[in-house]
Amino acid sequence: MNLSGTLLTLVRDVRLNLDDNTPSEYRWSDEEIVKALNNAEMEIARRTHCLEDTLDIELTESTATYSLENNVLFVKSAKITDDNKTVDKKTIDWLNEFMPNWETDIGIPSYFIEESNSITLTPVPSVDCEGKTLRLKIVRLPENLLSESNTTPEIHYKHYNDMVLYACHLLKLKKDSDTFDYEGAMVDYELFSNSVGKRPDANVERLMKESPFYTKITLRR
């Protein structure tokens, strides 16, 4: 690979950690290291929620549900920008209790629920909502993989050392007599987890999407 910029520096730092500094005797290819760094950036974003962004959705009359990209971890908040109207996040249980007709009511949305890779608004947007913009504040994963043409991670540079640690953890698990180092991989993993925190399990990630209360607690930790 023709490496440059920040990516080149990260690859060199990984090789230094792996004691893999002699080009003629490399035990890991540049491609393997870059793949591990990409996995590391994804893991850091998933654990720390460090990538926040906005996503604009154009509302359509009678359309309540809108798809989200796969890299969206969860929606923090929503607002109809044309009216400066906040749309609050709720759970299905809350809507069933306090708005029993939430699936059929028509009007200007006041609430939304998040499920998997979509959000659903209630009331269902009326004709008055046609063409208006719903702006979401989201927490997401990186959009672009590191490569020869994309040499700078999306996450903050304060996490670059964490990227190196996690990449080394993965690379030391390569099953080859010259590369496999389970003990060393676990040391790197522990250092990494101590720095960025534990990864939320699938149930916790589901609660982040569905529960407004859980989202607020998570973002304040």
Q: Which of 4, 3, 10, 1 is nearest to 41 (CA)?
A: 10
Q: 13 with 119, same domain?
A: no
For residues 111 and 182, state if they share a domain. Answer: no
Residue whose C-alpha is closest to residue 196's, from 45, 10, 14 = 45
Residues 95 and 153 reside in one and the same domain: no
Do 113 and 88 reside in the same domain of the chain? yes
Based on the fold, state whether residues 76 and 183 are members of the same structural domain: no
Checking if the pLDDT of 217 tops 50, the result is no
Q: Total domain count for the chain?
A: 2
* H/E run at residue 48: helix 30-48
pLDDT, one tens digit per residue, over 49-81 is: 999 999 999 999 999 999 999 999 999 999 999
Does the structure show a pLDDT above 90 at 218?
no
The domain boundary, picked from 82, 112, 140, lies at: 140
Question: Per-residue pLDDT tens for 191-203?
Answer: 999 999 998 888 8
The verdict on 167 and 207 lying in the same domain is yes
Asked if the peptide bond before residue 123 counts as cis, ω within 30 degrees of 0, the response is yes
Residues 135 and 58 in one domain: yes
154 and 84 part of one domain: no
- The reply to whether 88 and 165 lie within a common domain is no
Q: Which of 140, 157, 180 is the last residue of a domain?
A: 140
Please state the pTM of the whole predicted model: 0.89
pLDDT confidence band for 221 (50 / 70 / 90): very low
Between 30-48 and 160-171, two packed helices, what is the crossing angle to 10 degrees?
120
Is the per-residue pLDDT at 214 higher than 90? Answer: no
**Residue 65 shares a structural domain with residue 134:** yes
**Structural domain range at position 88:** 52-140
Same domain, 107 and 60: yes
Q: Are 77 and 157 in a shared domain?
A: no
Above 80 in pLDDT, residue 111?
Answer: yes
Confidence of residue 220 (pLDDT cuts 50, 70, 90): very low
Domain boundary among 140, 165, 189: 140
Of the chain, the percentage scoring pLDDT greater than 70 comes to 96
